[in-house]
Amino acid sequence: MNLFSFIKTRVSILDVVNEYTQLKKAGTYWKGNCPFHSEKTASFTVSPHKEIFYCFGCHVGGDVVSFIAQVEHCNQLEAAHHIAERYRIELPQELITTNEPTINEKKHYYDLCTVVAAWCHQQLTTSPGALHYLLKRGFTKDSMRLFTLGYFPGGHQRIKELATMARSHGFLVKDLIEAGIVQEGKTVLYSPFEERIMFPIKDHLGRFCGFGGRIFKQGDERPKYYNSRENPYFNKGALLFGIDQAKKSMQQKESAFLVEGYADCIAMVQHGYANTIATLGTACTPEHLKILARYTQKLYVVYDGDKAGKEAIIRLTSLCWQVCLELHVICLPPQEDPASFLSKENDLVPLIASAKDIFVFFIESLGEGFATKPLPEKLQLTRKLLGVINTVEDGITRDLLVQRASKIIDIPFASLSRELEKMQNSAKNAATAAHNQGALEKSSHTDPAERPKIPHNLLGEDQKLEKNLFFAILNNIDLLNNDNQELMIGYLPPAFSVILQKLYTLKTETPSLDFVQFFDSLDSYEKEFVSKILLEFEGSLEPGAFDQLLAQFQRKNWKSIVHKIKKQLDQAKRSGNVAEEQKILLQFLELKKKLL
């Protein structure tokens, strides 16, 4: 039994899926709205007997591991370990792979951060000064619990208390040091987080992986924020504050709000914008945008209304071409950030309605005061504008942006279009040269052949018999045996025969093979295909129905079967194998008698 099979024997797919969408019993299956796309009619189907799912709307299917991999945007191995952690499944040593030490180290780090976050949250409840500061800033106690906000008290004695508490959970002081929670001084331990409000940071799977600490006491001249130091499990350029809680809302509302700080994110959530995330005090990176593109296609950027906020958005524009995201800019009044704006009972809805496309915002921002700038700066800005516009794929949108730029910087549309065309031709020439060079380098090598995928929708009504046979075998894999495997694999369409060949080979190698083990052997595409066929039908076949289907299939393919038998007979005659010739003839007569 492999890791995936073991996981599936310890957890029910219904329990897991019900955490993401509400399922209701419908015959032998369970149905609900798909968690992967928006729909009004439930098309997401789960079979608790086969432990599989399939959505007839977006055509995603598989088992419980596939489900978590899809919904949490991670690979199969990460999904399996996520399920094991979530449902406290202890994995046998023999299922731990050679890569497992890295996974165990990661889990050890995440568990330590969880313990520290809980300790800091407890400290907050007994620290009037820190609690008063947060309440004064407008944080509700519900938000403090939701985001596990905390406080890291100062002093060597409190460090000792943290170490004692960590030890009770199986962690050593060296673990705290390696994680950057505490540091070694000349004589004692100390922490860079001391006397700071703690904002625990989780990854998209909800695992605590780091902290942001903010000073709040008067006279504290340290940097306002201190984040956990970078390590293999904490990368600020690939983490977004609040994403573990926001991702479901982002998918449901098909949009997200991106803000700059922890406080802004929490303020937005408190005011009903649950689909809000924040960067960790750093500029937005291409990796941030790629992560967000997994959950939504529309992103509202809500940065501070000062010069720094505007410059951050201008930098962000140059990254847009790297992801499939529709970005809009919400312009706050000068000297306002989302938290301060909302705390004054201002309404964000009108600003959302008037949000500007980020490219339009970029052009208007760069075009401010263009006429008064010296010529070299004008040329530089013009080429910068056209360079960003050139990243837009849609031709009409490019022309509209060029037209907008023409009006703002007062340069004729035709002139800007000619310059843009030069850029495009130059890029095409460079791309052609690179392609030709790559082709020369690969000419002496043969790429490995990949098995073509059979589109699901190519199976029409005329193949209903074949689908029924395939369904029957998948429902009872013992139906595929030595007597019929040649017929099934030889005459069924490739979409079916490739999978049945794999099933027959596995059954030959492992006579005790069950459906779960067989399903685990399939690739992701095959899992989707098998899930679709199985969940299209309700119930199972009546006794004897399979033999009837088999007979119908033989009649349908009778000419092809006879042609093949004739070739086999001719081959046996030419080789002088009389015994083989009589055997083939006898099988043919028995088959003909059965069909008649």
- In 3-state terms the chain splits into helix, strand, coil percentages (rounded to 5) of 55, 10, 35
DSSP letter for 92, please. Answer: P
Pairwise CA distance, residues 531 & 528, whole Å:
5
Amino acid 28: pLDDT = 86
Provide the total of helices (H) and of strands (E) in the chain, helices listed first.
Answer: 27, 16
Amino acid 148: pLDDT = 97
Interior angle at CA 25, CA 23 and CA 29, nearest 5: 95
Amino acid 81: pLDDT = 85
Amino acid 430: pLDDT = 60
Percent of the chain beyond pLDDT 70?
A: 88
Pairwise CA distance, residues 496 & 466, whole Å:
8
Amino acid at 429: N
What backbone phi and psi angles, to 5 degrees, belong to 91?
-85, 135
DSSP 3-state of 63? strand
Amino acid 387: pLDDT = 81
Amino acid 427: pLDDT = 64
Amino acid 541: pLDDT = 65
Q: How far is CA 406 from CA 124, 370, 419, 519, in A?
A: 56, 12, 12, 59
Amino acid 445: pLDDT = 39
Report which of 298, 199, 202 is spatially closest to residue 257, judged by C-alpha positions. 298
Q: How far is CA 211 from CA 147, 151, 183, 192, in A?
A: 12, 11, 15, 11
Q: Which long-range contacts (CB under 8 A, 24 or more apart) does 171-179 make?
A: 171/111, 171/112, 171/115, 175/108, 175/112, 176/112, 176/116, 179/109, 179/112, 179/113, 179/116, 179/228, 179/231
Amino acid 588: pLDDT = 66
DSSP 3-state of 220? coil
DSSP 3-state of 147? coil
Q: What does 533-546 look like in DSSP terms, one character per residue? A: HHHHS-S-PPTTHH
Residue with token string 């000062």: 306
Amino acid 456: pLDDT = 44
Pairwise CA distance, residues 547 & 554, whole Å:
11
How deeply is 521 buried, as exposed, middle or buried, from its count of CB atoms within 10 A (0-12, 13-18, 19+)?
A: middle
Pairwise CA distance, residues 486 & 550, whole Å:
12
- pTM here is 0.66
DSSP 3-state of 580? helix
Amino acid 423: pLDDT = 81
Amino acid 593: pLDDT = 60
Amino acid 437: pLDDT = 54
Amino acid 449: pLDDT = 35
Query: How does pLDDT run across 94-131, given as a tens digit for each residue?
Result: 776 655 546 678 889 999 999 999 999 999 999 999 99
Residue 101 has a CB neighbour count (10 Å cut-off) of 10
Amino acid 496: pLDDT = 87
Pairwise CA distance, residues 394 & 79, whole Å:
37
Pairwise CA distance, residues 341 & 24, whole Å:
43
Pairwise CA distance, residues 23 & 26, whole Å:
9
Tens of each residue's pLDDT in the chain, 596 residues = 688 888 988 999 999 998 888 899 988 899 998 888 877 788 999 999 899 999 998 889 999 999 998 888 788 888 888 898 888 888 887 776 655 546 678 889 999 999 999 999 999 999 999 999 999 999 999 999 999 999 999 999 999 999 999 999 999 999 999 999 999 988 889 999 999 999 999 998 899 999 999 999 999 999 999 999 998 889 998 899 999 999 989 988 989 999 988 999 999 999 999 999 999 988 888 888 888 888 888 999 997 766 777 777 777 776 766 677 788 999 888 888 899 999 999 999 999 999 988 888 888 877 877 888 888 888 888 888 888 788 777 788 788 888 888 888 888 888 888 888 888 777 666 655 555 555 444 443 333 333 334 444 444 556 788 888 888 888 888 888 877 777 777 778 888 888 888 898 888 888 888 888 889 888 888 888 899 988 887 666 666 788 888 778 877 877 777 777 777 777 777 887 777 777 767 766 766 665 55
Amino acid 375: pLDDT = 86
User: Any residues with CB less than 8 A from the CB of 277 and at least 6 apart, and which?
Assistant: 240, 241, 242, 243, 246, 256, 257, 258, 259, 265, 292
Amino acid 436: pLDDT = 54
